Amino acid sequence: MIKRAALIGLGTMGPGIAARLSRGGLDVAAYDVSDVAVERASGMLDIAGAILDRLDIKAPASGAGTVRFVRTLAETVDGAELVIENVPENIDIKAETYRAIDPLIGSSVIVASDTSGIPITKLQAHISHPERLVGMHWSNPPHIIPMIEVIGGEKTAPETVATIRDLIRSIGLLPVVVKKDVPGFVENRVLYALLREALDLVERGVIEPEDLDTCVSWGIGYKVAVIGPMALLDMAGLDIYKSVSSFLNADLSNRDDVAPMVLEKTGLSKFGIKSGEGMFSYTPEQIKALQGERARKLVAVRRILEGQE
Ligand SMILES: NC(=O)C1=CN([C@@H]2O[C@H](COP(=O)(O)OP(=O)(O)OC[C@H]3O[C@@H](n4cnc5c(N)ncnc54)[C@H](O)[C@@H]3O)[C@@H](O)[C@H]2O)C=CC1
Ligand SMILES: Cc1ncc(C(=O)O)c(C(=O)O)c1O
């Protein structure tokens, strides 16, 4: 079983991934090109650790599991059996990272990408042992959401997929193996179908952004956490779905470009919480309060869904 992991990229996802892996007993060497990101990540570890405590996720009795921040790629991958690439969602940056680690790692080391949806087959063109490259797609916030997608590309060895699936399971998380390397895999195909329609409804003035969130969170979201889409079809009745989808599907958004509202906001550097403004505006105090409140609620819901409370 894998015991030593290297984590490259400590932005939004990195600190939570490091915290969760180390709580699972892995020794993690963590690296980022940005000193600011390393500083922030080191502060986030304690916060993530406190949330893992509230989730009652215990470290192994042996006391194994550490996070060590290191300053070079060579130190990061030294002795690692698994390298998790968690750099920005840009194929050139990811390819450059694979080229940089290639001479530093042995042929038995697994390289897992946390890409949100770049096909693994495309990434495999940039590494010399493609059979050892696999998608390991965490969901944000990664120390709280237990599901991780595992995706093999055309050249990924079945044993590589099995090793990552077993590792995820062994540390108490929920692997879902995606059988075809489609863009966006499964989670983001479903999420982006929802987001495309949601943005379209707001852009067309059908609903205010706040009301859209109330509708989805308290209508669909709350329900789907308990009853997945396939089970929901059976609950509603396939006859109902047949009738509604026969007229509704043709009216749903099918735009194949980025929504104008998103282009406009990103053009003004309005990225959301990370810049203080996006769909909504946030003061630093509100961001802190929101993050705490969301973590508390996600922990409470997860404990209920797991039957712990
Ligand atoms: N943000 C999200 O909700 C999710 C993101 N992902 C995926 O995870 C990956 C990382 O995403 P985020 O954490 O959101 O990105 P981010 O942009 O917040 O962080 C990326 C980090 O990588 C660092 N970096 C850039 N080039 C580097 C290099 N050559 N070597 C080492 N570090 C480097 C940056 O300094 C930055 O700290 C992406 O592929 C993304 O699509 C997956 C699940 C959810
Ligand atoms: C907007 C958005 N995009 C991608 C992802 C991802 O899973 O890669 C997420 C997420 O919540 O994890 C997301 O919210």
Task: Say whether 32 counts as a known binding-site residue.
Answer: yes
pLDDT of residue 90: 98
* Residue of 120, 148, 138 whose CA lies nearest to 12: 138
Here the ipTM equals 0.98
- Give the number of whichever ligand sits closest to the CA of residue 194: 2
What local confidence, expressed as pLDDT, does residue 167 receive? 98
Which residues are bridge partners to 56 per DSSP?
Answer: none
Give nearest CA residue, ligand 1 atom 12: 12
Residue 180 C-alpha to ligand 2 middle, in angstroms? Answer: 19
Cα gap 64→24, rounded to integer Å: 8
* Mean pLDDT for the chain overall: 97
Single pTM value for the model: 0.96
Q: Is 116 annotated as a binding residue?
A: yes
Amino acid present at 123: L
CA-CA distance, 31 to 8, in Å (whole number)?
5
Q: Which two tokens stand for residue 304?
A: 């209920």
Q: Give how far Cα 205 sits from Cα of 36, 199, 219, 267, 303, Å.
A: 40, 10, 20, 21, 37
Query: Which domains, and CATH codes, for the chain?
Result: 4-178 (3.40.50.720), 187-305 (1.10.1040.10)
> Who lines ligand 1 at CB under 6 A?
8-14, 31-34, 37, 86-89, 93, 97, 114-116, 137-138, 140
pLDDT at position 309 over 80: no
Q: How far apart are CA 100 and CA 33, in angstroms?
A: 13
Atom of ligand 2 nearest to the CA of 187: 7
pLDDT in tens, 20-39: 999 999 999 999 999 999 99
Question: Given the CA of residue 195, which atom of ligand 2 is nearest to it?
Answer: 1
User: Could you give the C-alpha distances from 149 to 39, 61, 114, in angstroms and in order?
Assistant: 29, 28, 9
Residue owning tokens 């779905």: 241
Q: Give residue 178's pLDDT band: very low, low, confident or very high (50, 70, 90).
A: very high
71-126: pLDDT as tens digits? 999 999 999 999 999 999 999 999 999 999 999 999 999 999 999 999 999 999 99
CA of 140 to the centre of ligand 2 (A): 6
Determine if residue 297 is labeled as part of a ligand binding site.
Answer: no
Please identify, by atom number, the ligand 2 atom nearest to the C-alpha of residue 145: 12
Share of the chain above pLDDT 90, in %: 97
